[in-house]
Amino acid sequence: MGYDNVLYERDDDGVVVLTVNRPAVMNALDRKTLSELHRAFLDFRHDQRARVLILTGAGEKAFVAGADIAYMSGIDQEEAEDFARLGQNLTIAIESVPKAVIAAVNGYALGGGCELAMACDFILASDNARFGQPEVNLGLIPGFGGTQRLARIVGRAVAKQMIYTGEIIKAARALDIGLANAVYPQAELLSGARGIARTIASKGPLAVGAAKRALNRGYDLALEVGLEFESMLFGSMFKTDDMREGTKAFLDKRDARFTGR
């Protein structure tokens, strides 16, 4: 699809593997890579044959080791704010795409890499994965959403400790605090992610998208407001071909053939 720093590959089951492909610099995020990732998520959004995306990094050392420090060392305040917004726009695009996105973290996910993973619906980690927001070591703070998403995922006190100290945690610790959903041997990570992705891809795509909206938007709403939003989305499913196919397939005792309509 005309990318230089990312690979976009889709299989016949509707599963896309999107790989940050800069292994020589541990898949660090510069402006070009952020822009290509954003474009890839737009392509994924509009790819009617794509139902689930797995985001990972090239090589065995890193998912994404962070933002490109060489680039950041030479910019001023205005350029830095623009760079942060570029990263934030990418994470918002990940969260808002009405399809499931799985982070397969295969090594270092630090700084912008950790923030990228947290924007996904959930994280699967290899046993050599390492997570952290070590920006304080550079005299900086997270800029792609880390101060906001980490606290929502692991709780404010744990997030403060990680961000204030710049601590880098192992995969087992990430699992314990709820940052990662599962840990796999490194050689099994992608196959494990594909298995979960194919399960999700076999479900009603409109239902998966609606569930994602309900979970993401409802999280910060008062319960009664979130319940009202849920009921609206629940009702909207009843005008879809997928709902009719799913219920008929259940009654017919066969697998449903969802079309996303």
Predicted confidence (pLDDT) at residue 1 exceeds the cutoff of 70: no
Question: Looking at the domain assignment, is residue 260 inside a domain?
Answer: no
Tell me what percent of the residues of the chain surpass a pLDDT of 90: 95
Task: Look at residue 261 and tell me if it is in a domain.
Answer: no
Q: Are residues 219 and 156 in the same domain?
A: no
Quote the distance between the C-alpha of residue 52 and its chain's center: 11
Q: Do both 190 and 230 map to the same domain?
A: no
Chain segment 158-179, per-residue pLDDT in tens: 999 999 999 999 999 999 999 9
Q: Is the pLDDT of residue 256 over 70?
A: yes
Residue 222 domain-assigned (yes or no): yes
- 35 lies in the same domain as 53: yes
Query: What pLDDT band is residue 2 in, cutting at 50, 70 and 90?
Result: confident
State mean pLDDT over 205-215: 96
- Contacts of residue 38, defined as CB under 8 A and 6 or more positions apart, other chains included, come to 86, 89, 90, 93
Q: How confident is the model at residue 220 (pLDDT cuts 50, 70, 90)?
A: confident
Give Cβ neighbours of residue 39 (< 8 Å, ≥ 6 apart).
3
> What amino acid positions are annotated as catalytic residues?
115, 135
In a domain, 77, yes or no: yes
Is residue 209 within 8 Å of residue 201, measured between CB atoms? no
Structural domain boundaries, residue 166? 6-201
Q: What is the pTM of this model?
A: 0.94
Query: Does residue 259 belong to any structural domain of this protein?
Result: no
Q: Are residues 146 and 46 in the same domain?
A: yes
- What pLDDT score does 5 carry? 96
Question: Are 137 and 222 found together in one domain?
Answer: no
Domain match, 16 and 143 both: yes
Residues 31-54 have a mean pLDDT of: 96
For residue 220, being part of any structural domain is answered with yes
- Both 118 and 63 in one domain: the answer is yes
Question: Helix (H, G, I), strand (E, B), or coil: what is residue 125?
Answer: strand
SS3 of 8, please?
strand
Q: 137 lies in a domain? A: yes
Q: What is the pLDDT of residue 94?
A: 97
- Domain assignment present for 132: yes
Specify the CATH number for the domain of residue 140.
3.90.226.10
Domain count across the chain: 2
Q: Is the same domain home to 245 and 138? A: no
74 against 185, higher pLDDT? 185
Mean pLDDT computed over every residue of the chain: 96
Does the structure show a pLDDT above 70 at 210? yes
Instruction: Kindly give the pairing relationship between strand 52-57 and strand 62-64.
Output: unpaired
Question: Does 139 share its domain with 223?
Answer: no
Residue-wise pLDDT for 92-145, tens only, equals 999 999 999 999 999 999 999 999 999 999 999 999 999 999 999 999 999 999
- CATH number where 229 lies: 1.10.12.10
